[in-house]
Amino acid sequence: MQRHSTLLTTAITACTLAGAACGVQAQTSAPLLPSSVKIVSSLPRTGSANAQTTAMVNGIRMALTEAGGKVNGVEVLYEDWDDASPQRGNWDPAIEAANADKGIADAMVVAYIGTYNSGAAKVSMPKLNAAGLAMVSPGNTYPGLTKPGTGEANEPMVYRPSGAINYFRVVPTDDVQGFVAAEFAKTLNATKVFILHDRELYGKGIADVFNKSAKALGMEVVEFDGLDTKAANYKAIATKVKQSKAEVVFYGGTTQTNAAQLAKDLLAQKVDVKLIVPDGCFEEAFIKAAGTNALEGRCYITFGGVEPKLLGGQGKVFYENYKRLYGMEPEAYATYGYEAAKVVLAAMERAAQAGSLSRSAVLKEIAATKGFSGALGTWSFDENGDTTNKVMSVNTVKNGDFETVKVIGN
Amino acid sequence: MFDWFDSDVLLQQLLLGLSNGMIIALIALGYTMVYGIIELINFAHGDLFMLGSFLALTLVGAAMNCGLVDPALMGESSHWWLLGTLVVVCGIFCGGLNLCIDHFAYKPLRRASKLSQLVAAIGVSFIIVNLGLFWGGLPMEVLGGGGAAAAPKDFPHLVSDVNLLGEESFVVMTWNDVVIFVVTIPLMIGLTLFVKFTKLGMAMRATAQHATAARLMGVDVNKVIAATFAIGGFLGGAASVLYANYNSTVSFQMGFRAGMDAFTAAVLGGIGSLPGAMLGGLLIGLVRAMSDQYVGSEWTNVVVFSLLVLILIFRPTGLLGLKQREKV
């Protein structure tokens, strides 16, 4: 009996050892981890947003370099795709759709960084959602993409055919920004506001929020109108603004949708009014296109976050490194490109350590991002896929450059 | 909120409509002349106009770099000589370019189907747009043109911004408006006289009526066509300087909308008719301004094109287009 039991013990021990050995072997040969995976970005490269995109792509490349181009030993490739066309000089729905399809078809792609324009996200979100591919936007601020009850009745579920969440963003949304803009108009002692928008998802969306907030704050909205974004000038509109005696004009639009021309024509028609524009104009191209005369002391730009040079902590390190690497000041969205790539790479690292770099594993890890410490501070993704970071700033133009006049929610 | 019978507002909108309309009319002449002669809708015309404004921007930058003008004085004092030079130089540039386009792209297809010529025109348009994109990327230090090729560029004010009606006046009229009238009206009168009274003008009208018959009468049709392209291009080039100065913006995409407006104006007035193009341009400028003020800018394009449809229903040949129209 004694002998028998010893034999049994030996057998069990041997088995266990062998099993353990087997297990170890399975992990080292790693049949589940590919030798390389790919992340792609889909951002507007053709058109005046290109400078902003270059900054975001630079940010992404920096994040990748800092990770040594690898997660847990697996090589991470990166491709920089354009979602704009020369015909539009702006993002193009057909190209964004093609990019989404291309990303889905390429089995190596595990994360899709994009888009810059909220309207473009609307095109690719349902496609990527159905395919279960994670999408992280450095620039979309239209609230309806993620937050129920802020946009159309069917938003955001219409973007989630699979029912699950695959879309995340590192930038605060316009329901916050539009309100901040309205509050700022109030501090300018505005009693009457004139609201214009570019009839795009982003521009109209933020103008709607501004409209609601302005009314709630007791300001009179004298006009709410959409602009023809390709018009030669807005002198006729400027005349209407002058007639209305509004103290503030809010334009929900971007540099690409002619915000600079509006600023110029308000000056040309000698309208004594302050122009407030959202973050879509927070780029050098806006100042270049409008000329400083039309902006200095006349225009305020709201932005979800603060200028890179005002960032603290890791953000400061990022700012310094960026300047050293690229020899120029980063555009405002560089930080968001960097942060988006950082959060994706961190999630990939965790997924790889857990043994899988499949799309679903990466997606699961991105969604689980909590207390992430990056260039924008410490933040998490909430249940909608939005960042919990809500820092906003109001900026103006001075001596040909942006200058922050107010930081809110810091 | 908005008083409908505010005479100041009405006056201002009329002025804006006329200024914008004059520029459109000048471009529209290029469309209508070419159509009148060879029945080609020269889609590249709007983009040619865009290229003219890039040349103007470059020349202004060069003038600044050479110290001929002081950037700090832009918008304060007027640089008439510079503006005048630009109108002539950009006009000649666009006229010459239009001549080359005709020679290399359209002439070989003269006997081919109309559709081939149309496709060639669209192709030329794409080429020019991309040339503009390239040009915008060239370093123009003074104007900050380098770097972002596609970004709209700020065009400095070549004439004074002072309100000629007094700083207290609601209606703003500056030398910018005056320049448009001073340049456009003589050009239009000159063109009309040229077509009516010169030998080449007569040859143009003859070719427009019947090219073969004109050739049989000893008219050098190819020369006439070339002259038409050159004159149309010149007007587009002159318009480009006025446009850049008036809107103080230059962008590689501006040719599309300007061309669209001008083409609509030409059709509205009766394509092939010179006074028609002028009338159409003014009408579109005025309707746009009025619609922006009284209907809402969201509806402006709807208003303009509804008007076009209505006019074409009741007068299929346009306002001044006759069945046996005098085409050029």
Residue-wise pLDDT for A188-210, tens only, equals 999 999 999 999 888 998 999 99
Closest Cα in chain B to A292: B154
Q: Could you tell me if residue A12 is inside a domain? A: no
Q: Which of B16, B161, B249 sits opposite A239 (nearest CB)?
A: B16
Kind and range of the H or E element at A111? strand A109-114
Q: For residues B272 and A94, give the distance between their C-alpha atoms in angstroms, rounded to a whole number.
A: 37
To the nearest 10 degrees (0 to 180), the angle between helices B7-38 and B45-65 is: 110
Does the beta-carbon distance from A89 to B297 stay under 8 Å?
no
Question: Measured between beta carbons, which residues in chain A are less than 8 angstroms from residue B161?
Answer: 268
State whether A197 and A83 are in the same domain.
no
Length of chain B: 328
State whether A168 and A178 are in the same domain.
no
Using pLDDT thresholds of 50, 70 and 90, give the confidence band for residue A408.
confident
Q: Could you tell me if residue A24 is inside a domain? A: no
Does the beta-carbon distance from B297 to A268 stay under 8 Å?
no
The answer, yes or no, to whether residue A78 has pLDDT greater than 70, is yes
Q: Could you tell me if residue A168 is inside a domain? A: yes
Count CB atoms within 10 A of the CB of residue A36: 13
Question: Measured between beta carbons, which residues in chain B are less than 8 angstroms from residue A240?
Answer: 2, 9, 292-293
Which CATH number does the domain housing residue B254 bear? 1.10.3470
Local structure of A169: helix, strand or coil: strand
Q: Could you tell me if residue A401 is inside a domain? A: no
Q: Could you tell me if residue A410 is inside a domain? A: no
Q: Could you tell me if residue B152 is inside a domain? A: no
Which CATH number does the domain housing residue A252 bear? 3.40.50.2300
State whether A104 and A188 are in the same domain.
no
Predicted pLDDT of residue B232: 96
Report the residue of A233, A295, A326 to disrupt the B interface, i.e. the one with the largest count of B CBs within 10 Å: A233
Local structure of A30: helix, strand or coil: coil
The answer, yes or no, to whether residue A31 has pLDDT greater than 60, is no
Interface of A with B (CB under 8 A): 46-48, 50-51, 86, 89, 196, 199, 222-223, 225-228, 230-237, 239-240, 242-244, 255, 258, 260-261, 264-265, 268-270, 284-285, 288-291, 293
Beta-carbon contacts below 8 Å between A and B: 125
State whether A333 and A357 are in the same domain.
yes
Q: Could you tell me if residue A7 is inside a domain? A: no
Q: Could you tell me if residue B167 is inside a domain? A: no
What is the total count of domains within chain A?
Answer: 2
Instruction: Quote the DSSP letter at residue A404.
Output: E
State whether A188 and A292 are in the same domain.
yes
- Residue A92 to chain B, least CA–CA distance (Å): 15
State whether A116 and A214 are in the same domain.
no
State whether A42 and A166 are in the same domain.
yes
Chain position carrying tokens 């004059």: B22
Using pLDDT thresholds of 50, 70 and 90, give the confidence band for residue B291.
very high
- Residue A200 to chain B, least CA–CA distance (Å): 12
Beta-carbon contacts of B221 under 8 Å, excluding residues fewer than 6 positions away, are: B207, B211, B214, B215
Q: Which of A51, A240, A261 sits opposite B292 (nearest CB)?
A: A240
Report the residue of A288, A296, A328, A397 to disrupt the B interface, i.e. the one with the largest count of B CBs within 10 Å: A288
Q: Could you tell me if residue B31 is inside a domain? A: yes
Count CB atoms within 10 A of the CB of residue A335: 28
- Residue B77 to chain A, least CA–CA distance (Å): 15
> In whole angstroms, how far apart are CA A244 and each of A214, A222, A272, A315, B191?
16, 7, 11, 43, 42
- Residue B152 to chain A, least CA–CA distance (Å): 5
Predicted pLDDT of residue B323: 57
The answer, yes or no, to whether residue B243 has pLDDT greater than 80, is yes
Count CB atoms within 10 A of the CB of residue A383: 8
Beta-carbon contacts of A51 under 8 Å, excluding residues fewer than 6 positions away, are: A283, A284, A285, A331, B147, B148, B151
Predicted pLDDT of residue B328: 54
What digits encode the pLDDT tens for the residues A291-339?
A: 888 999 999 999 988 888 888 889 999 999 999 999 988 988 999 999 9
A282: phi > 0 → left, psi -120 to 50 → alpha, else beta; which? beta
Q: Could you tell me if residue B90 is inside a domain? A: yes
Q: For residues A225 and A220, give the distance between their C-alpha atoms in angstroms, rounded to a whole number.
A: 15
Token reading at B85: 């030079």
State whether A289 and A182 are in the same domain.
yes
Q: Which of A236, A269, A288 sits opposite B148 (nearest CB)?
A: A288
Q: Could you tell me if residue B321 is inside a domain? A: no
Full residue range of the structural domain in which residue A236 is found: 174-303
Strand partners, B154: B249
Does the beta-carbon distance from B148 to A231 stay under 8 Å?
no
Count CB atoms within 10 A of the CB of residue B152: 27
Q: Which of B6, B254, B296 sits opposite A243 (nearest CB)?
A: B6
Strand partners, A167: A135
Q: Which of B2, B130, B257 sits opposite A230 (nearest CB)?
A: B257
Q: For residues A63 and A229, give the distance between their C-alpha atoms in angstroms, rounded to a whole number.
A: 35
State whether A283 and A321 are in the same domain.
no
The answer, yes or no, to whether residue A91 has pLDDT greater than 80, is yes
Closest Cα in chain A to B15: A236
What is the total count of domains within chain B?
Answer: 1
Does the beta-carbon distance from B20 to A232 stay under 8 Å?
yes
Confidence (pTM): 0.84
Beta-carbon contacts of A29 under 8 Å, excluding residues fewer than 6 positions away, are: none
Chain position carrying tokens 């055919």: A161
- Residue B102 to chain A, least CA–CA distance (Å): 23
Token reading at B231: 């004159």
State whether A129 and A195 are in the same domain.
no
Full residue range of the structural domain in which residue B266 is found: 7-136+172-314
Quickly list DSSP for A198-250.
Answer: -SSHHHHHHHHHHHHHHHHTT-EEEEEEE--TT-S--HHHHHHHHHHT-SEEE
